[in-house]
Amino acid sequence: MTIDNYANHIATLTRTYADALQYAANENPPLAAVLVHSGSEQHYYGDDRGVTFQAYGHLLHWIPVNRPNQFIYFRPDEKPVYFQVVPSDFWYEQSIDLEPEWEDALSIVRLSSLDELIVQLKQRSVSDVAYIGGHADIADSLCIDKALINPKKLLSYLDFSRAVKTGYELEQLRAANQLALVGHAAAKTCFLGGGSEYAIHMAFLLATQNLEDECPYTNIVALNEKSAILHYQFKRKTNTNKGQVLLIDAGCRVKAYGSDITRTSVSEDTHPKFRSLLTAMETLELALVDEVRPGKTYQSLHASTLTKIAGILIDHNICKGKVEDLVERNIPQLFMPHGVGHLLGIQVHDVGGHQFDISGAILPPPEHSPALRNTRVMETDMVFTIEPGLYFIPLILEAERGSDRGKLINWNAVDELYPCGGIRIEDNIRVTSSGSENLTRQFE
C-alpha cells in the first residue's frame, strides 16, 4: 500500500463526510460533526463466550482496525481524530499496531476506556455531534442527543457514496482477489485428488494463511448435489463417493476489503451435459463482464443474464421453445433464482445496493427477480460482482413438474442432472471510464 493512496483516500472521505454533514445539517437538533463507532463485543445468550466481532463498515472505511470500541470523530475543517481505545487487560491481547500513514492522515488519541472518551468529547462539545453505529446505549453514555443517533439523511448519503471506490480501496480489492485465487487453486487441487468438503475448505485456508473468522464470509464448499443449495453452510468430512462437481464460493480480506469469488470445477467422469453447461456458463460470465460500462443499469445486466441463460437451456435441450418465450414466462429464474451480483467492498454485500440517490430513496428489484441485490446505475470506480448461476434445485423445479411452465422443461434431462447440483462463476468487477476491469481474472 502506498502512503499517497491512503492519504488521498482520507482526503476523499473528508470531502464526502463534509458534504454529508452539510446535506443533513438541517436536522433538528443541528448537526455539525459525526462520531463513527466500530461496535462493541457481544456474547452468546446465557454464555460468557464472545460472538466473533466484526467492526462497523463505516469505521473500517476510515481505518482497517477490526476491534471493538474504536471511534472516528469528524468535524469539517479539523483533522479527523481516531480515538483508539485500548483497555488495560491481561486476559486478551489488546494492542493495536499503528501504520505510519495513519498517523500522517489522522490525529490519534490513545485511551484506555470509554470513560476517557467521554472526557475527550466534552472538551470538543457533543451537542451537535451525530453518532453512527450499532449501540444506542453507548451513544447515550457519551451524551449524544437521541435525535442524532444514526440520523437517516446522514446515513443514506454515506451508504450511497460507498459504492464508488478510491485508489486505496481498489488497491486492497486487487490484493484480496489475488490472495483468494491462491486459495481457489489449492481447493481445486484438493477436489481433484478426492478431498472432502472439509478438506477442500482447509486447503483454501492453509493456502491463504487465514483463520476462518478472518475471511469476509463463511466459505461455501459444496460437492455434487449440495452445490444446488445457494448458501450451503456445512463441510462434510467424508467423501464416500468421489465428488464429481465442486462449487466453492470463497474470498479473502485485505485491510478490511473483501473479495468474493466463485468457481465451479468438474472431474473427468462428470455427466457430459453438465460439463458442457459449465463451459457455456464460463463463456456467459465473461460476456456479461464485457457489457459493463458507465451509465448502464445493473437491472439491464441482470436481464441480459436471464436471456443468455434461456439460450443455454435451449441449446442443451433442458428447455424447449424460443428464448423470448422462456424469458417472458420467467423460466430462467427457475434455474437461477438469485441476482447476477451485488456491490462489493468493505462488506461482501455492500451497502446502498438498492438506493436510487443520496436521499435514501429505494429502487427495488424487478418483481420477476426479487433477490437482485443491486439496482444502481454503473459509475466509474464502482465495484460489484458478476455471478451468473445455473442450478438444478428440486425444491424449485419439482413444483413445476405438472405446471404449464413445466411443459417447456425436459424432465429426463433434469432428473439426470439433479445429482450434479449447480454451477456459479463469479468475478469482481470495477467499472472504468469506458468499460470494466476484471479484478479477479487479471491474476489468474
Q: What is the DSSP string of 134-157?
A: S-HHHHHHTT--GGGBS-HHHHHH
Quick one: pLDDT band at residue 3, thresholds 50, 70, 90? low
Per-residue pLDDT at 1 exceeds 60 = no
Instruction: Give me the helix-helix angle, 298-315 and 272-290, nearest 10°.
Output: 150
Specify whether the CB–CB gap between 229 and 222 falls below 8 A.
yes
Grid coordinates representing 105? 492522515
Provide the pLDDT for residue 2.
Answer: 65
User: Between these two residues, 83 and 2, which has the higher pLDDT value?
Assistant: 83
- 339-392: per-residue pLDDT in tens? 999 999 999 999 999 999 999 999 999 999 999 999 999 999 999 999 999 999
Report the C-alpha gap between 65 and 108 in whole angstroms: 13
User: Is residue 15 scored above 70 in pLDDT?
Assistant: yes
pLDDT in tens, 326-336: 999 999 999 99
What integer pLDDT is reported at residue 28 of this predicted model? 75
Is a pLDDT exceeding 70 seen at residue 440? yes
Domains of the chain by start residue, with CATH: 3-161 (3.40.350.10), 167-443 (3.90.230.10)
376, β-bridge pairs: none
Query: Is pLDDT larger for residue 370 or for residue 30?
Result: 370
Burial of 376 per CB tally in 10 Å (0-12, 13-18, 19+): buried
